[in-house]
Amino acid sequence: MPSGRLTVVVTRRLPEPVETRMKELFDVDLRDPDTPMTREELVAAMRRADVLVPTITDVIDAGLLGQAGDKVKLIANYGAGVDHIDVATARQRGILVSNTPGVVTEDTADMTMALMLAVTRRIPEGLALMQSGEWQGWSPMALLGGRIGGKRLGILGMGGIGQAVARRARAFGMQIHYHNRRRLRPEVEAEFEATWWESLDQMVSRMDVISINCPHTPSTYHLMNARRLKLLKPSAVIVNTSRGEVVDENALTRMLRAGEIAGAGLDVYERGADINPRLRELPNVVLLPHMGSATREGRVEMGEKVIINIKTFADGHRPPDQVVPGML
């Protein structure tokens, strides 16, 4: 670990309280204007920094790490997901990686429920009608949606966020089902009155709503592929606030257009901001710009975790949120 005051490079603008505290503690290079760094800028940043603070838009792969030099010793990621960082290669080069787990749990679960309601109750269609000035008054058959009370919710990934979704969905009267790598403890299942499905195929074929809340790993890439999506009931709705790569976006688009799936609420996309343009045309799809964790409180808490990880590292200790290859 470097001696003296650490040089910290931040790749995007962060909340003002976070940046102020960083300036008090470290020699910090803040990003202005708030635009993503190019690959060349990332290489230069890593060569001059003891600590790099990237975000999910910064792809830090083996090639980039190979150009980083020997100065950088910690990548203190601003966010929980680290699939944009080659953690194994970083470790081989003696670079620690930390993240900010747990901070966005409640915010993301809130957005999951918001998307679920927006799709099933056709809220964007109603909003568009009002904003166009074309609404002619109430009609008993206009914009009929479906209630979520009593419906079966299948949660794919019953970690912290999945459980937070289950807690909210229970309050709406939904029946909780889940698929997970490991079955939850009996007392946790009892809290949600949740049913565990060992077979994902069997679960998705019986659900009214599917909520994707698992991380993106090699084993979850296209976990909801074309074959599995075809198992969904035509009346089913799929919501994804986790990682876009978990769903085959092209297959999902085709099925939504064909009416083989009733609707979708998406906050994440397989290719980042490069969204399948046909998705934008569908009235039964609600698209959000990756804002599931976008609360002022959450962003500040993420920054506070980053600072704790850097400060702990500066004091010669293991960052409390260090990421180990294979742990996610």
pLDDT digit string (tens) for 234-269?
999 999 999 999 999 999 999 999 999 999 999 999
Residue 156 sits at φ, ψ, to 5 deg, of: -100, 100
* pLDDT value at residue 290: 94
Q: Is the pLDDT of residue 326 over 80?
A: no
Instruction: Answer whether residue 2 shows pLDDT above 90.
Output: no
pTM of the model: 0.90
* Amino acid 216: pLDDT: 87
User: E strands within the chain?
Assistant: 7-10, 27-29, 51-53, 74-76, 96-98, 152-156, 175-179, 195-196, 209-212, 237-240, 263-266, 285-287
Residue in 20, 26, 66 with CA at minimum distance from that of residue 46: 66
What's the one-letter identity of residue 145? G
| Residues facing residue 195 across a β-bridge | 177
- Alpha-carbon span 268 to 57, nearest angstrom: 13
State the average pLDDT over residues 42-56.
Answer: 96
* 280 three-class SS: helix
Measure the CA angle with vertex 156, ends 152 and 162; round to 5°: 85
Question: Could you tell me the domains of the chain?
Answer: 7-103+295-314 (3.40.50.720), 105-287 (3.40.50.720)
Question: Mean pLDDT throughout 271-289?
Answer: 93
